[in-house]
Amino acid sequence: MKIEFLSSDGIHEREIRGAPLKRRRRSVSFFNRRGVACILHRPWMENILDKKMQTVELIQTNIGSFYIDTRDKFVGKELAETGDYSPAERGVYQNFISPESNVLWLGAHIGAHVVPLSKQVRSITAFEANPETYEIFAQNLEINGCSNVNSFNLAANDVEGELEFVCNSENSGGSKRMPKEMNDMYLDKDTKFVNVRAVGLDDFLDNHKFDFVFMDIEGSETAALKGMPKILSHAKVVVSEFIPHHLRLVAGVTLSEFLDPLNAFQTLIVPSLRSHVHGPEIYFFLQRMLSSNRGDPGLIFHKDVINVNWG
């Protein structure tokens, strides 16, 4: 099998870093501190006004309408300034989905990838653990009419229970489970520590038949993989963020522990390095990346032996 990527320019530039879908509710309008007219859905109103955190704005982009938290210096900022978020990265993933695809998305954030991709697949089941980020995500799904997305405010884990969670505002996409070894780079001036519900996905989800699984969950990837062996048995493609310090400091796992649930996947594609390897070479390639402290926003694991033409 051969996959052709017409372009992967810009992929390396991205910063490496259950409730049902809500029904529409009444909104309130206000002007934020920069004088921008904003619409705020009522579930947020008392919480935000009480905390004097009028930082949520509604913006129009090339990929839909989005509520963003203006404190966020990464995803929200890129959406506001460019009208899109990591389109080259999303373009790579589009090689592996079709209108018939059922997608499992872990780490949905505010929906900057989920919203546009939902128009190209049959269904997306999406998880976002950060409670405040999930509120924004749920509203973004609603205003963009993403009726084929089922969303949950839960953390993916190996077992059910509660996780202590680190919630950030300047890089809300970098919010994560409490690291095994805390580091200042995981905190900002508004960091909050909350408890979130965590689930093993095989036990929580009735449907295990997803052909495409995406994970950008800041060090929780290994725990999530351990909780979904049935899902992995059906999946054709798994995409996972890969950051050396997340394995070491957040998860406290070895490379072998990370890869063990993925042993049925025969091809590793590394878009940021425009490389792909097969079988036993997967471990050695990633070990070299670890040794050089090299990460990737989305390693692609494929069940089949495939070759990639980078164009």
Q: Tell me: the pLDDT tens digits for 144-169? A: 999 999 999 999 999 999 999 999 99
pLDDT at 50: 42
pLDDT at 3: 72
Local mean pLDDT, 10-residue blocks, the chain (311 residues): 56 37 34 37 44 77 97 97 97 97 98 98 98 97 98 98 97 97 96 97 95 98 98 98 98 98 98 97 98 97 95 77
* 3-state secondary structure (DSSP) of residue 285: helix
Nearest 10 degrees: Cα torsion 213, 217, 219, 223: -50
Q: Where are the beta strands (DSSP E) in the chain?
A: 2-4, 27-31, 37-41, 56-61, 64-69, 102-106, 123-127, 149-152, 155-157, 161-167, 176-177, 192-200, 212-215, 237-242, 267-270, 275-278, 296-302, 307-309
pLDDT at 311: 77
pLDDT at 54: 73
Closest to 64 in 3D by CA, of 179, 169, 126, 141: 141
Length in residues, the chain: 311
* 3-state secondary structure (DSSP) of residue 65: strand
CA distance 8 to 310: 8
User: In the chain, which ranges are continuous DSSP H helix?
Assistant: 42-51, 75-82, 87-93, 114-118, 131-143, 201-204, 221-226, 229-234, 244-245, 255-259, 281-291
pLDDT at 130: 97
Each residue's pLDDT tens digit, 48-58: 434 435 799 99
* CATH fold of 2-23+86-309: Rossmann fold (3.40.50)
